[in-house]
Structure 1
């Protein structure tokens, strides 16, 4: 045994450095492995893959040819999109979209006043970026801007007239009064300290209302600046009234979707809490509202809002024809949102409630600080799904005579200036691209938020 060991010793070798990591074989990793595992993992999967490939090969080249290769991109009228006029096969008539793009965006809004719509779009974009950008500063100020100042500014700019000026004047007066109150409160510590002495000045400052309301002070000053700017704009340029019957296109679509999204989430939370309430009356009212609204289609709610709302108020207070579907859409979305939120609340462990109560938190503090943040994180996919469905359901307001984006496209299809065999397909393709981009953007952002909030939950 010893001789054999001695004989093999010169050939013994021990590696002192680690070999570099090698790439996995193509059979278990890489594109080929992904194709085999996901597209050809079995007979059924293989058959479906081949069927999809056949559909793509048959349809995609024709779509590319129609919408891009043979498409007409420039032209002044229908002659540019007629095959007998141009002497070649004609595909999509994108020249028609370019010629009617202004109508698709603004509807019948007066051309001389469309700068007001552009300002509202800019204000809305600033609010969206401020709210959705995770690194944006002054989030509370952004909330106040998005939910208070921007709607008031949009109402003043879009509608104009005496009602908007009255709202602007009242808002300016309220802001001035609140600013004056805060200015007075800021001098209280100085006045009291002059009598009590410098030693007690710091104590007085800590106890002053201004110290506790430093956040609202910024909001009031911000509101004051906005109202002053709007007041100067209204007085110097003048804002003639533009009736809501002239609004249309993407402006109305974004308006309805924004109002529905902004109001459906807080009202949905209140309805979900009301349905889980231990007070019988609140629970009964919440259940009746949710089940009644969810039990009828949106078209029915729109018809009821359009015909029934004016019956509940005096004639001089009759809601505007655009306000009625806004209320109906918000109510409909709030009922569905309530069930989504209730699912998140039911998914919360009982220990979260017990832990919050053991800390001495009241009901609303417990919900605001402990329960709702976790419940909303759980149901982010359901919330965004409701928002996407709401955005697409805005097309139903055409039933009650509102010219949304899709209705403006349908209105231009009967225009003899662009009456061609390909105009209809082009218009609906443009609408599909618009709705897809908006819904896809909301979906992608929700996925990023979900991943960011779930980062701390990974093990």
Structure 2
């Protein structure tokens, strides 16, 4: 029997092993100039950078005014960014009109919040239950006593009409983030509940809040919330927009959590119940960890959007960081053609630093959770 022509009579010669590593120039040459399309895009991006970066560098660094007691040097012809103005207005940007002798109360509050956040987010940290108790229970009570005042503890009261700047922006963001995740989980579970009343109430609240802009929610919280409470229980002018932000963030977070719950295969719950776990234990130990791990990018994206959306509280008369930047530029002592641009660049750098930090941390979390998420539905 003749051997078919499409079969080899001998083995093919072995190919050389692939290069496991390339030098620096080969790596970038392949990624930036691998074909004519990538080469064209690389050339266009380089051209835009060459046109935009030199004048931006001159404005921000080379021609910038770094030290001055007033705006006279910043008004000189050819002067760049007036960083001396930022230095002079830094206390106002940070604390608003909060009394200077009580700045330490703000510093202590946010230093404690930073320690607890690092404790909660550090992967190798121990006793995270104590950190969660401190962040969600102790910090709000202690922070209120420090920021607002407690005469019984010797802390004079500082009205919220004097609060402003970074202090208010971080407070609004923390309030929204703290409430958004648990609130979103409750609404998502309610929308998937077998109880018709819970399902309709959750779905109605989510769709109503998601169907109106945040500005409308803030106006409703500012004007309508006091109507549903007795006069003695009327919420503070700052608490009203915080409640609106928390409700708005919870509704959007609910849909992200619901997507994660739908991504968990039913076999995970069935397997947990077969091992004797109850519904609450199954949800807490099996379903929610996998669901939240699968939607980390969506959760962090909501947090980033919420952090930037806190600037809208200025619509209802709250002096957040961006509002203080916009107000400080009207000081006649620092009047000048570059003052407004410098203030907005400073604000952009502030928001960029926080949003970039959250994004980088979420990428780290994704890398840690990826091996675990790859096993979802495989039975491993």
TM-score, normalised via structure 2 length:
0.91
Deviations for 1:384-435, whole angstroms, at most 9, x for unmatched residues? Answer: 0000000000001110000000000000111101110010110000001100
Aligned partner (choices 106, 114, 128) of residue 95 of structure 2 = 106
CA RMSD of aligned residues (A): 1.8
**Where in structure 2 are the equivalents of 1:181-200 lying within 5 Å?**
none
Matched, 1:58 2:51: yes
Indicate whether 1:116 and 2:80 are aligned: no
Are 2:315 and 1:404 equivalent residues in the alignment?
no
For residues 355 and 301 of structure 2, the distance between their equivalents in structure 1, rounded to whole angstroms, comes to: 9
User: Is contact 1:273-1:342 (8 Å) kept?
Assistant: yes
Aligned with 2:192 (options 276, 280, 305): 276
Deviation at 1:446, TM superposition (A): 1.1
CA distance in 1, matches of 2:192, 2:54: 54
Matched, 1:266 2:255: no
Aligned pair partner of 1:79 in 72, 78, 90: 72
Is 1:333 the counterpart of 2:249 in the alignment? yes
Taking structure 1 as reference, are residues 110 and 292 closer, same or farther at Cα in structure 2, changes over 3 Å only?
A: same
**Equivalent residue pairs, number:** 360
What is the DSSP-based 3-state SS (H/G/I as helix, E as strand, rest coil) of the residue aligned with 1:32?
A: helix
Q: After superposition, what is the alpha-carbon deviation per residue over 1:301-335, rounded to whole angstroms, capped at 9, x for unaligned?
A: 00100111011112221110000000000000000
Deviation of the 1:51 alpha carbon: 1.2
Matched, 1:257 2:246: no
User: Residues 155-166 of structure 1: matches in 2 within 5 Å?
Assistant: 155-161=144-150, 165=152
Counterpart selection for 1:303 from 197, 211, 219: 219
Structure (1/2) with the larger helix percentage? 1
Alpha-carbon distance in structure 1 between the residues aligned to 2:329 and 2:301: 31
Instruction: Tell me, yes or no, if the aligned pair for 1:161 and 1:242 is still in contact at 8 Å.
Output: no
- Give unpaired runs (5+ residues) of structure 1: 1-20, 166-233
Q: CA deviation at 1:45?
A: 2.5
Over 6 Å off, 4+ runs? none
Bigger radius of gyration: 1
Aligned to 1:100, what secondary structure does the other structure show?
A: helix
| Structure 2 residue runs without a partner (length 5+) | 1-15, 376-380
Are the equivalent residues in 2 in contact too, given 1:406–1:431 (CA < 8 A)? yes
Q: Decide which moves more: 311-320 or 148-157.
A: 311-320
Q: Is the 8 A contact 2:290 2:373 kept in 1?
A: no
Residues 338-353 of structure 1: pairs in structure 2 closer than 5 A: 338-353=254-269
Indicate the residue corresponding to 1:45 in structure 2.
38
1:186-240 CA deviation, whole Å, 9 max, x = no partner? xxxxxxxxxxxxxxxxxxxxxxxxxxxxxxxxxxxxxxxxxxxxxxxx2xxx211
Corresponding position: 1:317 with 2:233: yes
Alignment map for 1:422-433 (pairs within 5 Å): 422-433=338-349
1:91 to 76, 80, 83: 80
